[in-house]
Amino acid sequence: MTEEEAPCPPLLYPTRAEVDACAYPNWPERVKLNGLDATVIPIDRSGPAYAWLLSDGIDMTVIDRWTKSRNPPEDSDSEDTETQTQTQAEAEAEAETDHPAVYELFDTIEATIKKYDGTVFTKTDWSSARDVSWIYNASNGLRACTVEDVVLYLKSSDFITHDLMMPYDGCVDVEEGDVSLPPTVHLVLKQFYDLRVANEVRVFVKDGKVLAMCQRQSDVFFAHLLEEEEWRHPMVEKVHKFMGERMLEPMQSVGLDKFVCDLYVTPGQGYVRVIDVNPWHPATCDAGLYTWEELHTLSLSPPASPCDMRVVESQAGIVDTRVLSSGFPLEMTQGMMGVDGMTLDDLVASMKECNMQ
């Protein structure tokens, strides 16, 4: 077998401890200080608030009842006829969802939104609701201004559900049938900033060294990133400096020598902020403008000089992402397979051609 025909070595997957280390509450303080302001709200996995988050459907009437519970009518005779004639089944259903712990969660969310001047970004330990941004107007940057907004993101997102139910899926040290989960999940509400996605960089770290980097939004073409001297090179220099001085050592101190992080870089103003830290996980983390096979091969023979940043070089060069794929309804995705020989990849290619016209 020739070298070109040699199969790629098995891809690396994370351990349970590495996944835990990437959860926002477990970030080293030095890393949090270089991130965006955030408030962590713990949710007991055995409690009613967690059960409500996983319950089927999105029943927003529970928020209406929570609002009314804080401002009860002074005269009970003035209650709505609908409330007075409530059926026993409706009362039992409300008793299951309208638990004091659920109302307390709403209270905390509302207080946090006020703390951050009325807008927050919603995520859990590892993931945000980026997969549903196409539903709730992607141009708003997943801005949440009300408790209703936060609840919609939490209850709609498959990425969030994965955090809640399967955080250790694919870990190398999890045996088949092991369904153990951490006792607490965390809702992380970050102060909302209107970030320019062109300034976001995805960095791949292996063996405590920066292995590769690329623009985070691999499904968008930013022409100005092709200007090396004015944009790309200053961004690359700042990323390498930041990683060496403020990121690599703290993450190694919590047992992480391989991970993927997203940074916000401003070439002109010169500051770098940590957006997120992700496990080195081919099944749940996008490889950006690389493939996981390519990254694994790079890790076996790391480049001697500091890496450059890959960027999308034209509209034809955009790459499909988990977020983009999640924008297709399941029925549509399944229906595309095998119909007139067309697959989902063919559909994405067709969309690229339309964007170029």
Strand partners for 38: 190
The string of pLDDT tens digits covering residues 114-125 is: 999 999 999 999
Taking all residues of the chain, what is their mean pLDDT, rounded to a whole number? 84
Task: pLDDT band for 40, please (50, 70, 90 cuts).
Answer: very high
How buried is 175 (Cβ within 10 angstroms: 0-12 exposed, 13-18 middle, 19+ buried)? exposed
CATH code for residues 196-324: 3.30.470
The structure tokens listed for 16 are 């349970």
Q: How many CB atoms lie within 10 A of CB 253?
A: 12
Residue 29 has pLDDT above 50, yes or no: yes
Residue 323 is predicted with a pLDDT of 64
Instruction: Give the separation between CA 213 and CA 210, rounded to whole angstroms.
Output: 8
Only one residue has tokens 């955080």, namely: 167
67-81, 92-106, 162-176: least confidently modelled range: 67-81
Instruction: Give the separation between CA 50 and CA 139, rounded to whole angstroms.
Output: 30
Task: Report the percent of the chain where pLDDT is more than 90.
Answer: 60
Most confident of 80-94, 113-127, 324-338: 113-127
The string of pLDDT tens digits covering residues 230-264 is: 889 999 999 999 999 999 999 999 999 999 999 99
208-222, 316-330, 342-356: least confidently modelled range: 342-356
Residue 59 is predicted with a pLDDT of 81
Per-residue DSSP letter, 335: H
Q: What angle do CA 116, 119, 121 make, to 5 degrees?
A: 100
Task: pLDDT band for 134, please (50, 70, 90 cuts).
Answer: confident
Instruction: Give the separation between CA 21 and CA 259, rounded to whole angstroms.
Output: 10
Residue 356 has pLDDT above 70, yes or no: no
324's CB contacts (< 8 A; 6+ apart) are: 219, 348
301's CB contacts (< 8 A; 6+ apart) are: none
Most confident of 10-14, 21-25, 266-270: 21-25
Domain ranges of the chain: 37-191, 196-324, 327-356
Buried b (16+ CB within 10 A) or exposed e, 110-143: bebbeebeebbbbbbbbbbbbbbbeebeeeeebb
Instruction: Give the separation between CA 227 and CA 230, rounded to whole angstroms.
Output: 6
Residue 69 has pLDDT above 90, yes or no: no
Question: Using CA atoms in the order 133, 138, 141, 146, what is the torsion angle rounded to 10 degrees?
Answer: -70
More confident residue, 199 or 97: 199
**Number of C-alpha atoms within 13 angstroms, CB side, residue 83?**
11
Instruction: Give me the mean pLDDT over the 164-168 stretch.
Output: 94
Residue 343 is predicted with a pLDDT of 60
Residue 3 is predicted with a pLDDT of 45
Residue 177 is predicted with a pLDDT of 83
Instruction: Give me the mean pLDDT over the 61-67 stretch.
Output: 89
Q: What crossing angle do the helices spanning 147-156 and 100-115 adopt, rounded to 10°?
A: 110
Instruction: Give the separation between CA 24 and CA 37, rounded to whole angstroms.
Output: 12
